[in-house]
């Protein structure tokens, strides 16, 4: 009979399961050795023919788990022009965990885009920093210039968690995707990119006559990009009005070129009508309105016409008087 016997594994063991963890990482088993009689006539003493001992079997952890995130993908938002170092708003909060034990649970993080290193966003804990076990992750802005809503409205990139061995060498990794939505803010003022700045109107134009439509453009979206108009109260005396919403510039009362031949008007274009006034952005645009003459005045004698006497026999073409008249047209 062999003096030694082996204990073998009856099923797969995993030091990272709750079953093993709840046992403190080891199994305590009883091993019974029973004397076998040489023949059936031999009667054994139970107290001396059976021996029981306890064996403690410790389950050693193997580095057999990848770091895992709590989701496969995440949605994030950030206002455009957000400064460096400011966290993104991520839903839900990112957690990553390596269920191995001790140094076998170490990993680090990196940010990539389409498989290439990507520095426009950073992680906390920082890229390359060794993490052990479990950690939440914060993503911060690494390049604020990329956050321009008028250039792009969303960005997709990846967070990679890479397990490292005891010497710090990279092993296997897990990747999740971040879908970032850039939120518009009111960071652009109205402009007048193609707006003419000089117009003609006849002096006999009726009240309500459309002189021009003033058009300002604001590249922000929604209410941030909505523009309203008004005329600054200088340079005219109620002869013109502008539609607050459409920018239509019209004659408001009768014009008389002989009284005034030109006007310099200032149009104020303001965005975001629903915001408080101190949060709105505005631009000013000067336009000239030239009143065109029409033949609406008769000649007027410049002096009282006197009686004129002429001598008889006055030669033909002899000047006997000088008369003149004026016409204000």
Domain boundary, last residue among 183, 214, 246: 183
In percent, the amount of the chain with pLDDT more than 70 equals 86
Tokens of 21: 């963890």
Domain boundary, last residue among 124, 154, 183: 183
Domain shared by 97 and 56, yes or no: no
Domain shared by 172 and 242, yes or no: no
Render pLDDT for 174-206 as a digit per residue (tens, 0 to 9).
999 999 999 999 999 999 998 899 999 999 999
The range of the structural domain enclosing residue 45 comes to 1-60
Render pLDDT for 203-219 as a digit per residue (tens, 0 to 9).
999 999 999 999 999 99
Arithmetic mean of pLDDT over the chain: 87
Q: Is residue 306 part of a domain?
A: no
Render pLDDT for 73-98 as a digit per residue (tens, 0 to 9).
999 999 999 999 999 999 999 999 98
| Residue 284 to residue 78: CA distance in whole angstroms | 31
Domain shared by 112 and 163, yes or no: yes
Domain shared by 141 and 204, yes or no: no
Number of H helices, E strands in the chain: 2, 22
Domain shared by 24 and 125, yes or no: no
Tokens of 29: 């088993």
Domain shared by 122 and 211, yes or no: no
Q: What is the pLDDT of residue 304?
A: 67
Domain shared by 141 and 165, yes or no: yes
Domain shared by 44 and 107, yes or no: no
Residue 77 phi/psi, 5-degree rounding, is: -135, 155
**Residue 327 three-state SS:** coil
Domain boundary, last residue among 33, 60, 87: 60
Domain shared by 127 and 226, yes or no: no
Q: Is residue 324 part of a domain?
A: no
Domain shared by 49 and 72, yes or no: no
Domain shared by 81 and 179, yes or no: yes
CATH number at residue 260: 2.60.40.60
Tell whether pTM > 0.85: no
Domain shared by 209 and 175, yes or no: no
| Residue 74 to residue 181: CA distance in whole angstroms | 11
Q: Is residue 313 part of a domain?
A: no
Q: Is residue 188 part of a domain?
A: no
| Residue 160 to residue 229: CA distance in whole angstroms | 51
Q: Is residue 202 within a helix (H) or strand (E), and if so which, with residue range? A: strand 198-202
Q: Is residue 302 part of a domain?
A: no
Domain count, the chain: 3
Q: What is the pLDDT of residue 1?
A: 54
Render pLDDT for 149-177 as a digit per residue (tens, 0 to 9).
999 999 999 999 999 887 777 788 999 99
Q: Is residue 311 part of a domain?
A: no
DSSP for 246-280, written as a single string: T-EEEE-S---TTT--EEEEEEEEEE-TTS-GGG-
166 Cβ contact partners less than 8 Å away, ≥ 6 residues apart: 103, 104
Q: Is residue 321 part of a domain?
A: no
| Residue 91 to residue 139: CA distance in whole angstroms | 12
pLDDT at 234 over 90: no
Q: Is residue 111 part of a domain?
A: yes
**Residue 9 three-state SS:** coil
């Amino acid at each position: 009979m062999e003096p030694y016997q082996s204990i073998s594994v009856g099923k797969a063991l995993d030091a990272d399961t709750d079953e093993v963890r709840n046992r403190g990482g080891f199994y305590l088993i009883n091993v019974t050795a029973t004397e076998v009689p040489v023949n059936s006539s031999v009667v054994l003493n139970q107290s001396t023919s059976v021996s029981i001992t306890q064996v403690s079997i410790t389950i050693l952890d193997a580095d057999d788990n990848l770091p895992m995130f709590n989701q496969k993908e995440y949605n994030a938002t950030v206002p455009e022009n957000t400064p460096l170092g400011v966290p993104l708003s991520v839903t839900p909060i990112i957690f990553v965990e390596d269920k191995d034990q001790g140094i076998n649970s170490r990993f680090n993080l990196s940010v990539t885009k389409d498989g290439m290193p990507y520095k426009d966003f950073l992680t906390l804990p920082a890229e390359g920093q060794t993490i052990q076990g479990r950690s939440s992750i914060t993503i911060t802005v690494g390049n604020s210039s990329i956050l321009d809503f008028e250039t792009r409205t969303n960005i997709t990139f990846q967070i990679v968690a890479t397990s490292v061995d005891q010497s710090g060498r990279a092993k296997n990794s897990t990747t999740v995707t971040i879908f970032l939505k850039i939120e518009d803010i009111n960071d652009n003022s109205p402009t007048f990119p193609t707006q003419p700045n000089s117009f003609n109107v006849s002096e006999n134009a009726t009240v309500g006559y459309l002189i021009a439509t003033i058009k300002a453009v604001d590249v922000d979206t929604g209410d941030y990009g909505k523009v309203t108009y008004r005329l600054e109260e200088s340079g005219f005396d109620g002869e013109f009005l502008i539609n607050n919403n459409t920018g239509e510039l019209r004659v408001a009362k009768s014009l008389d070129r002989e009284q005034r031949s030109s006007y310099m008007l200032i149009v104020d274009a303001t965005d975001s009508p629903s915001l408080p006034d101190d949060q709105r952005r505005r631009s000013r645009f000067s336009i000239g309105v030239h009143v065109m003459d029409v033949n609406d005045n008769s000649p007027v004698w410049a002096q009282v016409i006197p009686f004129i006497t002429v001598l008889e026999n006055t030669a033909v073409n002899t000047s006997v008087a000088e008369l003149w008249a004026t016409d204000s047209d």
